[in-house]
Amino acid sequence: MTAPRSAPGSSLPVTERTRHRRLREQGSLDRAELDAVLAAGFVCHLGVTVDGTVMVVPTVYGSDGSTLYFHGSVASRSLVASPGATVCVTVTHVDGLVLARSVFEHGVNYRSAMVYGVPRLVTDEAEKRAGLRCLTEQSAPGQWDYARRPNRKELAATALLALSLDEASVKLRTGAPDDGEGPDAELGLWAGVLPLRTEWGTPEPDPLLAADAVPPAHIGDRAGRPAS
C-alpha cells in the first residue's frame, strides 16, 4: 500500500504546471520533500527548446534550498538557448520495481522533482563562485576545499545558470502493488517490490598517481554508502 503523505512544513505554491492531476501516484507540494529529493541526487535532466525542438540533456546540478544551479561550457547549445525561455528540470530517483499480479498494475517506486522556470545567467563573480561551490559540493562534499578552485579564465569559460525553486512539484510512489485486495489476489501469484539500490564503490585512483596515493577521507569514506 502506498503510505499517505502528510503535508507538514511550508508548502510549494500550486500553479497550472505543478498541479497534480492523477491520483494513483502521490503528488506532494511539501517543500521539505522537494529539498529531500534534490539533496539525494546530483544529475538532473534539463529540458530546453532549441530551434523549436525539445532537448533533454543530463547535467549536474547543485541546490541551496532556494536556487538550483547548473552549468556547462559557454559553447553548449542547450545552455545558450536557455536564458529567457522556460525550462523544466527533472530529478528522478528510481527505488524499485512494483511487481503486481497483473501487468496493468506494474509500476515503479520512485521519487521525482520537477522545477519550472526561466534560468538566470549568473554574471556576478561572487555569486558565480558560490553557485559553483554549491554545484561541486552537491556531488562531492569536501572537494571545493580540497581541489584547486576555478581561476578567472576557467570562471569566464563556464556558463552558470540559476533556476528558482519557486515553481516546483514532487511526485513519488512507495510501497507494495495496488492489486492485493482485488480479484487478481485470487490468482495466487507472487507480488511485491524488487528494490533498486545505488551505492558508491571503492575509489579508483588515476593511474598517473603514485601507487601508494590514498584518497582523502571525504572521498574514501563514501565507499559502500547509499548514493540516493
Q: Is 20 in the site for a second copy (CB under 8 A)?
A: no
Say which amino acid occupies 77: R
> Which residues have CB under 8 Å from 196's CB, separation 6+?
94, 95, 96, 97
Sole window of 29-37, 61-69, 119-127, 145-153 interacting with a second copy (rule: CB under 8 A): 145-153
Sole window of 4-12, 32-40, 96-104, 120-128 interacting with a second copy (rule: CB under 8 A): 96-104
Among 4, 6, 84, 103, binds a second copy (CB under 8 A): 103
Core vs surface per residue 163-202: b (16+ CB within 10 A) or e: bebebbbbbbbbeebbbeeeebeeeeeebebeeeeeeeee
Helix or strand run (H / E) with residue 72: strand 67-73
Q: Is 141 in the site for a second copy (CB under 8 A)?
A: no
Among 27, 62, 96, 131, binds a second copy (CB under 8 A): 96
Any idea what DSSP says for residue 207? T
Closer to a second copy by Cβ: residue 84 or 195: 195
CA gap 65, 220 in Å, rounded: 27
Closer to a second copy by Cβ: residue 57 or 130: 57
Q: Is 2 in the site for a second copy (CB under 8 A)?
A: no
Among 3, 4, 6, 58, binds a second copy (CB under 8 A): 58
The answer to whether 192 and 96 are in contact (CB under 8 A) is no
Burial of 204 (0-12, 13-18, 19+ CB in 10 A): exposed
Sole window of 4-12, 28-36, 44-52, 120-128 interacting with a second copy (rule: CB under 8 A): 44-52
Among 2, 102, 164, 174, binds a second copy (CB under 8 A): 102
Chain positions 153 to 192 lying near a second copy, rule: CB under 8 A, are 154, 158, 176-177, 180-181, 184-185, 187, 189-192
Sole window of 6-14, 28-36, 119-127, 216-224 interacting with a second copy (rule: CB under 8 A): 216-224
